[in-house]
Amino acid sequence: MNVKNLEEILNRNRSYTNQGETANYIPELAYANPQQLGITVCTPRGEVISVGDCEVEFTMQSISKVVNLIVAVLDNGPEQVFSKVGMESSGEPFNSVAELETKAENKPLNPLINAGAIAVSSMIKGRDVEEQFQRVCTFLSKITGKENITLNERIYESEKLTGDRNRSLAYFMKSTGVIDTNVEEALDLYFRLCSISVTCSDLAKIGLFLSTGGKIQGEILHKNMPKAVQIALSIMLTAGLYNESGETMMKAGIPAKSGVSGGIMAAPPNEMGIGIIGPAINSKGNSAAGVKILEDLSSEYNLHVF
């Protein structure tokens, strides 16, 4: 793999940016440039290859759900977490209200849809939202090697102001006992995590961390980390791209997680991390060009899990 190959893949898929639009249900996200496209790949030997608009900062959005899940599993153990949240892919949009009542006994189907991630947020340990948020940031800081993990205030305010769909999911879960803490605090933590600023290279480092079974510079920092990472990767493979997960599983076959800001973080099993940005998203909420790039990376470098 080298810069030239990655540039070729990027240019070959550039026209797919025209098949999507920037998310606008969170108004601040609409200002992103839909033509942007960038890829970073990291290897355990410390190689970092970046092409295109990879210096651009964007918010993690749903990619934060993976980190959120790992911290919650380390905090509570998998049994406790999955007593409140399911393990199945949903086949519905990421913010579906209907499926919460009609499927899986009022439990959100998995931790990567909005309802599941809000329920997971309510399980992160900490005295208050600030401490919970800082604990997740500290973990992210170790994974990415970035001292300061920061939140994009404009996006955070925009999310909070327009997050009524998420509020309705959260209050429903309070009524069924899935959330048994303060609902507004669980939502606030969720909004903050979605608003964390990253670049493609940060996403690639998260991918590499997952791909190595949870190692940070060769070390496993917590005895339950390999299990937590295995859980995260399994759910990414089956549900990371929402109702496009089956297709992506078949065509790319790489555990991946997308966000509505157009980021995709992927963790092929060959000890490699991939970060992609392409803010024009398709109707399923995934980067339109990003999913095509993932397919190409998979076929060119033999990254499919099967």
Surface-to-core class of residue 295, CB atoms within 10 Å of its CB (0-12 exposed, 13-18 middle, 19+ buried): buried
Annotated binding residue 152 = no
By beta-carbon proximity to ligand DON, the closer residue of 166 and 201 is 166
With contact defined as beta carbons under 8 Å apart, do 258 and 241 qualify? yes
By beta-carbon proximity to ligand DON, the closer residue of 94 and 172 is 94
Q: Is 62 a catalytic residue?
A: yes
256-258 β-sheet, strand order: 48-52, 38-42, 273-277, 263-266, 256-258
Report the distance separating Cα 205 and Cα 252, nearest Å: 20
Contacts of 102 (CB under 8 A, 6+ apart): none
Q: In the bound complex, what is the minimum distance in angstroms from residue 79's beta carbon to ligand DON?
A: 27
Report the distance separating Cα 265 and Cα 258, nearest Å: 6
Catalytic residue among 190, 195, 261, 298: 190
Annotated binding residue 114 = yes
Binding site for ligand DON (CB under 6 A): 61-62, 94-95, 114, 159, 166, 194, 258-260, 285-286
By beta-carbon proximity to ligand DON, the closer residue of 24 and 217 is 24
Tell me, what DSSP letter sits at residue 172? H
By beta-carbon proximity to ligand DON, the closer residue of 272 and 291 is 291
Report the distance separating Cα 306 and Cα 289, nearest Å: 23
Annotated binding residue 190 = yes
The helix (run of H) or strand (run of E) holding residue 49 is strand 48-52
Annotated binding residue 62 = yes
Q: Is 178 a catalytic residue?
A: no
By beta-carbon proximity to ligand DON, the closer residue of 108 and 285 is 285
Q: Is 16 a catalytic residue?
A: no
Catalytic residue among 62, 89, 197, 211: 62
Q: In the bound complex, what is the minimum distance in angstroms from residue 62's beta carbon to ligand DON?
A: 3
Annotated binding residue 156 = no
**Identity of the residue numbered 169:** L
Annotated binding residue 242 = yes
Q: In the bound complex, what is the minimum distance in angstroms from residue 221's beta carbon to ligand DON?
A: 27
Annotated binding residue 166 = yes
Q: Is 25 a catalytic residue?
A: no
Q: In the bound complex, what is the minimum distance in angstroms from residue 193's beta carbon to ligand DON?
A: 9
Q: Is 65 a catalytic residue?
A: yes
Q: In the bound complex, what is the minimum distance in angstroms from residue 68's beta carbon to ligand DON?
A: 12
Catalytic residue among 84, 183, 242, 298: 242
With contact defined as beta carbons under 8 Å apart, do 186 and 122 qualify? yes
Phi, psi of 304 (to 5 degrees): -60, 140
Catalytic residue among 16, 41, 64, 65: 65
Contacts of 25 (CB under 8 A, 6+ apart): 162
Report the distance separating Cα 226 and Cα 231, nearest Å: 9
Q: Return binding residues for substrate.
A: 62, 114, 159, 166, 190, 242, 260
- Binding positions are 62, 114, 159, 166, 190, 242, 260
Catalytic residue numbers, as ranges: 62, 65, 190, 242, 260
